[in-house]
Chain A
């Protein structure tokens, strides 16, 4: 079974631009969560989607948004990029996040904002 895939793996953008990151979950997984990881803050929860609905959201500004498609693939968008948005963005999928189901992480997208 293929793992969680994220594209692109690396991205360099300029301040003020916008970016879209993509995540394909493990086949059969309906829950996709997004996280931002920086050296200073560690892993921080962005949002979670289940069956195309955003069910949970972290404390990030409205510039961060996402969506999930009917095939469970998810995209995350960041508008008006700031230098502080430089981070590793991780996506994770699971069968059902309401219980102790395993959560599988993708390799991440390394975003650098210059």
Chain B
């Protein structure tokens, strides 16, 4: 069964600190892995998209890694800001059909001053 699992479920950090969010998937066939940021009550916004051959991708203070062998990905946030408080959703796209996106449950991050 295609699944995407994220950990931790929630996280609280202090402003300025770094953090890493995890994503494990059992999706086959694999097309790409995406990380989205979703502010409360808003639509998700894409942070990165990585295909099978990409190990690392950065978007400002966000750096995503992908290990296709172990089927794991991480999202590292550097020097966190209050505006980073949001849910971060890991999504894996399979090639098994049109627009087959498998969503993780998300990690809720709270950055405190």
Contact = CB atoms under 8 A, between A and B. Distances in A.
Given A42-B105, A43-B89, A102-B49, A97 B44 contact: no
Contacts of B106: 42
At the interface, is chain A mostly helix, strand, loop or mixed?
Answer: strand
Contacts of A4: 43
A43 B103 contact: yes
Interface residues of B, number: 23
Given A42-B103, A100-B49, A105 B98 contact: no
Given A42-B103, A55-B98, A100 B31 contact: yes
B98 A98 contact: yes
B112 interface: no
A110 B40 CA distance: 12
A56 to B, nearest CB: 5
Interface of B is mostly: strand
A75 interface: no
A105 B37 CA distance: 11
B43 A90 contact: yes
B99 A48 contact: yes
A74 to B, nearest CB: 13
Interface in B82-105: 89, 93, 97-101, 103-105
B104 A106 contact: no
Q: Which 5 A-B pairs have the closest CB atoms?
A: A97-B99, A105-B43, A43-B103, A55-B98, A42-B105
